[in-house]
Amino acid sequence: MNLHEYQAKKILATFGVKVPYSNNALNIEEMVYAAKKVFKKTKEYICVIKAQIHAGGRGKVGGIKISKYIDDVYKKSSNLLGRRLVTNQTNKKGKIVNKVLISEYVLNTEKENEYYISIFYDRNIYKNIILYSKEGGVEIESKSRYKKIFLQKIDPYLGIQDFLIRKIAFNLKIKDSAFIRFKKFIRNIYNAYIDSDASLLEINPVFITKNHEILAIDAKVILDDNALFRHMDYKEMYDEKEYDLIEVEAKKAGFNYLKLDGEVACMVNGAGLAMSTMDMIKLYGANTANFLDLGGKADSKCLKKAFDIILKDKKVKIILINIFGGIVRCDIVAEGIINYFNKSINKKIILRLEGTNVNLAKKLINNSIINNSIIYVTSLEEAANKIKQIINVL
């Protein structure tokens, strides 16, 4: 689950990580009020207005503005709220700004005190990884910065040890006067990553002030959905406005669903089988319209909801149903398909069923009115071939 910047900073603050003073807002009145609170707290009439969307690259497209005095805050906030931002991390439509963060302005006169730090888990080596660089900021993803990024592996069972923190500090050229606070900072963000069950924690940039205070100026946190049952307060941070409406509906139905831009809809049970199905379709020159994993439930009610969700995508021309009947019985799947398309089918449907009661499933469909509208296949390769032939005709 993606979090907004203000939510990520709230979590970091609970673990002792210092962040700039800020307040989030949903409308112009709240923005002005938030700015007044920032001015009063910092005793300076300057603040930063930051669009809150689930995407990076906001600064390059006008999503982050420095503002002075209330009139300027009002003007710039008005131009930002409700605006659609298109960044290098959004699709062509971009994302609508429904919230903004009014933050304390932290002046960094020394660029050498600006850093990048992120933590994530590498499943290939079963280690936590700390990526860090002495050059943080908006250009961290540029090709010229790749050689300046360091990587530190952390054994999850041992945690982050003092000698590893010293190594990180040495590579970042942290001065002795700031080392003690830096050591605490690294431990705090690592604890935040572990204890919040995050799959990614990224701070860019990290500032070290003249007083050797270490601040997380911007933060990105992605939480592991499977661990949210341990964090009911984090679960409330889910912002469905940031997601496609179809994806939100699928999530409520209990499906693993992701909308894509292709023309071939997939209905599969099992994430691994779904990925293989998508790969095979791409290999044969077509594009998938979605990732849809039904999981272990595929009764008539479940299939009806899945078809409803798939057919809301107007780009869909073909539906590939690829079900392995292990936990799920193939005859139940067949009954669900027949009940949904009991009159007519206006989409091309390719069906691959294997497993429990597969012969009964085929018999049910053969005896139904939709028999002539369904293309049977026995392998993924055959399915992809059929899709290619249909696409070429369409």
67 alpha-carbon distance from chain centroid:
30
In whole angstroms, what is the distance from residue 255 CA to residue 246 CA?
11
376 is catalytic: no
Query: What is the chain's length?
Result: 394
In whole angstroms, what is the distance from residue 63 CA to residue 244 CA?
21
In whole angstroms, what is the distance from residue 80 CA to residue 59 CA?
12
Token pair listed for 110:
């020394």
In whole angstroms, what is the distance from residue 9 CA to residue 203 CA?
10
Q: Which helix (H) or strand (E) holds 220?
A: strand 219-223
291 alpha-carbon distance from chain centroid:
14
Cα end-to-end span (Å), the chain? 38
Q: Where are the alpha helices (DSSP H) in the chain?
A: 5-14, 28-42, 69-80, 162-171, 176-195, 232-235, 245-253, 271-283, 300-310, 330-340, 358-366, 380-393
Catalytic residue among 5, 104, 114, 202: 202
Catalytic residue among 6, 115, 116, 284: 116
Token pair listed for 99:
């919230």
In whole angstroms, what is the distance from residue 12 CA to residue 273 CA?
37
Contact assessment for residue 41 and residue 21, using Cβ atoms and an 8 Å cutoff: yes
Please choose, from the candidates 257, 252, 247, 200, the residue with its C-alpha nearest in 3D space to the C-alpha of residue 223: 200
The alpha-carbon radius of gyration of the chain (Å, integer) is: 26
**C-alpha dist (Å) from residue 288 to 151, 241, 280, 284:** 35, 24, 10, 11
116 is catalytic: yes
Contact assessment for residue 340 and residue 309, using Cβ atoms and an 8 Å cutoff: no
Report, as residue numbers or ranges, the catalytic residues.
116, 202
